[in-house]
Amino acid sequence: MDNVVADPMVRKRSVTIAGHRTSVSLEEPFWEALKELARRRGISVNDLVTDIDAQRSGNLSSAIRIHVLAAYRAPDTMAS
């Protein structure tokens, strides 16, 4: 939780979704959490973002934040 306060800056990064490059803006703690979720699932961040993109109905950055929040709220998702 300290990291959220320590680095709340929004970072823009490029991701590839279904072969197309796009930019996504997220706060650094969300990028870190997204990387961790991808690692735990054994997939790349691009693959995870592609999965999130396929299920979203609104803004991609918001969909990623909601996905990360939901994953951290579900204890079985974060189990090693």
DSSP assignment of the chain? -HHHHH---EEEEEEEETTEEEEEEEEHHHHHHHHHHHHHHTS-HHHHHHHHHHH-SS-HHHHHHHHHHHHHHSHHHH--
The domain made up of 2-78 has a fold known as: Ribbon-helix-helix fold (1.10.3990)
What integer best gives the mean pLDDT of the chain?
89
pLDDT tier, 34 (very low <50, low <70, confident <90, very high otherwise): very high
pLDDT at position 69: 96
pTM attached to this predicted model: 0.82
Domains of the chain, residue spans: 2-78
pLDDT at position 80: 46
pLDDT at position 1: 45
Q: What percent of the chain has pLDDT over 90?
A: 78
